[in-house]
Each structure stands twice: as C-alpha cells, then as structure tokens.
Chains A and B, each alone.
Chain A
C-alpha cells in the first residue's frame, strides 16, 4: 500500500497529471487535498504540483506557502514524510522554507516550454533512488520563473552535501551555459533537503512518464517513491 496525497491550490494545473502518473505507476489511489483543509490525511508521500497557485501574485509560491494546508505539510515534512515539489511546487517549497533559495524570473524573461536534458547528480534521495548518478534524462520544463538563486555559501553547502539532485546539461552531460535554459545558478534544476526526503525540481516528471507521452524520463521519480514501500530509506 502506498498512500500518496496531492495538494490542490487555486491555480494548480498539473495536479491531475501527477495523480494519473502516480496511480498508473504505483497502482494505488491518490488523495487530492484542497489547500484550505487543515490537515493532510496520513500519507507516505505528498506532492505539491505545478501550476500558478494564487495566480503567482506577489511572488511565485509566496501565497501558497502560507495557505492553511501548508502548516501541516511543513509539520509532516519535518517529521519525515517525503514531499515532492514540481515546478510551482518547488517554488512553494522554497517560499515555505523547506528548501533553501528562490526561483527567479528566467534570465531571458521568456516563458520556456520545451524538453531539457538533465544530469542526475543525486541517486539517493527518496525520489531519485531508481536513477543512476551521472545518467542523462529528458524531461519538459514549462516556466517563466525557474532561475534558481541562492547565495554562494548556500550553493556551496548544497553541492558539498550532495543535495543538488538534477542539473540542466547539454547532450553530453556537461552542466554548461548552453545546457542552461533559464540562467539557474550552477545549472541547478532540482535540490533536496538534508534528509533527502524533500525534493523540489522545475522540470515536470509527470509529463514524461510513459511512452504514449513521448518519453519516460520522469517515470523513475514515481517508481523511486514506490520502491520505498518495499525498501524503506535508511
């Protein structure tokens, strides 16, 4: 049994895609939880989906980070429940303080919607255990604010602790400027917290999880979550 919950904010638009991906891959039904609720039902994992919560007012994710449900999401994350934030969900995780840094306006100022290549830099987080370190995978991005920023000390700490999960890269796996779609510092596409249970990324794994969608680059993020049901993280 795997109990997954997807938080639905006003303006979320990838919530149902995540639900479909999780249900098809894990075989278990997924709870949809409204942002105004006071608590998340007992869950083995929580997903904050992509979209434009609260219309991206003030800053992306800033309002959602203070919505009633987030108090319980933060409490559960701190108590060890794995949380995955995708795109707007990553922005919410940063705004809520569960992950460091912030997602700024793309350096090009343009909304970018295309597939990117990512290098897996951490294959031990809760959501990336089914990948191999150094592997190159393809996932789509669709954002105007995906330009990861943190001060140099924070970036050094993230790298030193192996908490950069995915980096934008070119087809050879080089995390260089050519492979960086949005200006993110050090090509960071996704990071995790110190426990490896809270993961945020800008690309959309749920949009490429089966062949009918054109690729399977994101599939193993959900398979990694399923793996925990039989082989818990230490």
Chain B
C-alpha cells in the first residue's frame, strides 16, 4: 500500500518561497496568478497491512516527524 502525503503551510503562516515563485512566474510573463503557496509531497510505500493499520501508521509518522504542527497541516490518501 502506498501513502501519498501532502504537507502544506497553515493559513496565516508567511510563505516567502511561495512569494518568490509567484514573482518568478510574473517575470516569465505568466499572468493571472493571485497567490502561490508551496509545500511538500512525500510518498511512502507501506508493508502489506489493513487500511486501518495503515492509517494509524501514517497519522503517527505525520504527527511525529513529517509535519510540524506549529506551522504545517498534512493530508494523505492511501492507494493500493
């Protein structure tokens, strides 16, 4: 089973990297961009387990290491 994990900055947390990307897009002449927020995408290949077990494991890895709850949110989906 594979977990696809997305880690994003919480609303209200400044994202200077997102701003820099937005400026670069503008410099490329790509218009119509109102805002850019960047984050992380992590794929984790899990050993064969039940979906319930997998959710428990992924929750724990997100909480304890992959995301910092002070500034980040996480979301994930499981795929076979």
Decide if A132 is an interface residue (CB 8 Å cutoff): no
Min CB–CB distance A149 → chain B (angstroms)? 6
* Chain A contacts with B in 76-116, Cβ cutoff 8 A: 95, 100-102, 104-109
Min CB–CB distance B36 → chain A (angstroms)? 13
Q: Which residues does chain A contribute within 8 Å of B13, judged by CB atoms?
A: 104, 149
Min CB–CB distance B18 → chain A (angstroms)? 10
A66-B65 in contact given A105-B16, A105-B17, A108-B16 (Cβ < 8 Å): yes
Q: Which residues does chain B contribute within 8 Å of A105, judged by CB atoms?
A: 16-17
- Separation of A104 and B14 alpha carbons in the complex (Å): 9
Q: Which residues does chain B contribute within 8 Å of A109, judged by CB atoms?
A: 16-17, 20
Contacts between chains A and B (CB distance < 8 A), count: 33
**Segment at the interface with A among B26-34, B49-57, B66-74:** B66-74
Q: Which residues does chain B contribute within 8 Å of A150, judged by CB atoms?
A: 70
Q: Which residues does chain B contribute within 8 Å of A100, judged by CB atoms?
A: 70
Interchain CB contact under 8 A, A151 and B70: yes
Q: State the interface size on chain B (CB cutoff 8 A).
A: 11
Decide if A59 is an interface residue (CB 8 Å cutoff): yes
State the majority secondary structure of interface residues on B. Answer: helix
Q: Which residues does chain B contribute within 8 Å of A25, judged by CB atoms?
A: none
State the majority secondary structure of interface residues on A. Answer: loop
* Chain B contacts with A in 38-77, Cβ cutoff 8 A: 64-66, 68, 70-71
- Separation of A102 and B20 alpha carbons in the complex (Å): 21
Q: Which residues does chain B contribute within 8 Å of A106, judged by CB atoms?
A: 16
Residues of chain B whose beta carbon lies under 8 Å from any beta carbon of chain A: 13-14, 16-17, 20, 64-66, 68, 70-71
Residues of chain A whose beta carbon lies under 8 Å from any beta carbon of chain B: 58-59, 62, 66, 95, 100-102, 104-109, 149-151, 183
Nearest first, the 6 A-B pairs at minimum CB distance are: A102-B70, A109-B16, A107-B16, A102-B71, A102-B68, A109-B20
